Amino acid sequence: MISEGSSFIKGMALGAVFCLLLSILGSFSPNEPSSSDAEEEHHHHHVIAPSNKDMQELSQAQMVELSQKVRVYCVIMVTPKVLVHWAAANSTWAKHCDKAAYYTSESSKALEAIDLQETDEWARIRKALRHAYENAGDMRWFFMARPTTFAIIENLKYLILDKDATQPFYLGRSQKSGELEYVEYDSGIVFSHDAVRRLMDVLKNDDLCPERGRAIWKVSEEKQLAICLKYAGVYAENGEDAHGIGLFNSQSISTLISESISQNPDKVLESCCSDMAISFSGMSPNQMQVMMYGVYRLRPYGHDFHDSMIFLPPKGSDND
């Protein structure tokens, strides 16, 4: 009896140690690169749009040049299961991209898309970004989103207006998991041309950035992306307005307003969202149509927003 009891206690102790080990390992991201001199030199910062004062110092010619220079290639990840959202994005905000391409897991006769013949989301993201990079022409910025995201592309262009696309920008709504900082996929991810170029290089190394995860647990595609970009010397950054309010939202506008009404009834709009918000996530097709009306069509007569510049729609588009 004593030996049986002793074995039981030993088994319990070993089990506890094993659970502790798993919990410790769980706080680390598999294949995450260790600290390096390059990482130490990188100072994580919050990407902020230029101020009105900065804009007023530009000449008219400079503003026109900047507005024409900032062009965005939208990478929209879709599947036949979300066909209604796919159609809603196509008829609303995606029209404001300089180029919008839909990348699907399988072909669909209903809407035009690039069939990647791949169901794994991480593998699809890799293939989609490679295709976008090879077909971007003179476009130097990329915006990757799900079809349930609603984006205001003009506000995105304003955020990156004075940013250099030859520098490695990877931004959106940044989060932290252990030592890994990453950008939320649901809120939309912005890449500069140089960030994608570096990613393409590291994707060639299957030891650093495998197409099929080799970990014993599933790692989300947004974290896998951050790990690979970190190996390439590209780090997650948070997009904010001049007041420090995030521009990329992981919830729908209705959810954010409802929460604001409940938590800050005296300052509903101030505590909800930025005036220059770029994205909202988890949007239904009907909500996208309502957003389209509110953002692009409804205007108070005689009210001037005093914007310093205008982002013209792509040539030949039926842009609102």
What angle do the packed helices 193-203 and 121-134 form, to 10 degrees?
120
Direct distance between the N- and C-terminal alpha carbons of the chain, in angstroms, rounded to an integer: 81
What angle do the packed helices 253-263 and 285-292 form, to 10 degrees?
80
Q: Is the pLDDT of residue 243 over 80?
A: yes
Better-predicted residue by pLDDT, 132 or 13:
132
Q: Where are the domains of the chain?
A: 44-297
Question: Which pLDDT score is estimated for 246?
Answer: 93
Q: Is the pLDDT of residue 60 over 80?
A: no
- 128: closest CA among 141, 139, 140, 115? 115
Q: Taking residues 2-20, what's their average pLDDT? A: 43
In this structure, are residues 34 and 178 in contact, taking their beta carbons and an 8 Å threshold?
no
- Per-residue pLDDT reduced to its tens digit, 245-291: 999 999 999 999 899 999 988 888 788 899 899 999 999 999 999 99
Question: Which residue carries 């009105």 as its tokens?
Answer: 52
How far is the C-alpha of 236 from the C-alpha of 65, rounded, in Å?
A: 28
DSSP string computed for 121-170: HHHHHHHHHHHHHHT-TT--EEEEE-TT-EE-HHHHHHHTTT--TTS--E
In this structure, are residues 296 and 320 in contact, taking their beta carbons and an 8 Å threshold?
yes
Q: Where do the H-state alpha helices sit in 70-144?
A: 83-91, 121-134
> How is residue 110 written in tokens?
């209903």
Return the DSSP state at 232: T
Poorest-pLDDT segment among 44-48, 85-89, 183-187, 209-213: 44-48
Q: Taking residues 235-242, what's their average pLDDT? A: 93
Highest mean pLDDT among 63-67, 113-117, 186-190, 293-297: 186-190
Q: Taking residues 38-53, what's their average pLDDT? A: 62
Is beta strand 72-78 parallel, antiparallel or unpaired with respect to 99-104?
parallel
pLDDT category of residue 312 using cuts at 50, 70 and 90: low
Q: Which helix (H) or strand (E) holds 224?
A: helix 221-231
- 250: closest CA among 289, 292, 282, 285? 282
How far is the C-alpha of 63 from the C-alpha of 309, rounded, in Å?
A: 6
pLDDT category of residue 166 using cuts at 50, 70 and 90: very high
Question: Which pLDDT score is estimated for 141?
Answer: 97
In this structure, are residues 183 and 222 in contact, taking their beta carbons and an 8 Å threshold?
yes
Q: Taking residues 193-209, what's their average pLDDT? A: 95
In this structure, are residues 193 and 187 in contact, taking their beta carbons and an 8 Å threshold?
no
β-partners of residue 284 are: none
Better-predicted residue by pLDDT, 279 or 11:
279
Question: Which pLDDT score is estimated for 313?
Answer: 65
Q: Please give the order of strands across the beta sheet that includes 141-145.
A: 46-48, 236-240, 170-172, 189-192, 141-145, 72-78, 99-104, 114-115
Average pLDDT, the chain: 82
pLDDT category of residue 317 using cuts at 50, 70 and 90: low
Amino acid letter, residue 140: R
Better-predicted residue by pLDDT, 39 or 299:
299
- 161: closest CA among 53, 60, 51? 51
SS3 of residue 75 by DSSP:
strand
**Which CATH number is 44-297's, of 3.20.20.140, 3.90.180.10, 3.90.550.50, 3.40.50.2300?**
3.90.550.50
- Per-residue pLDDT reduced to its tens digit, 76-89: 999 888 889 999 99
pLDDT category of residue 200 using cuts at 50, 70 and 90: very high
Q: Could you tell me the CA-to-CA distances from 26 to 29, 125, 194, 230 in Å, in that order?
A: 7, 24, 32, 19
How far is the C-alpha of 239 from the C-alpha of 160, rounded, in Å?
A: 10
Question: Which pLDDT score is estimated for 151?
Answer: 97
- Per-residue pLDDT reduced to its tens digit, 100-124: 999 998 877 777 889 998 989 999 9
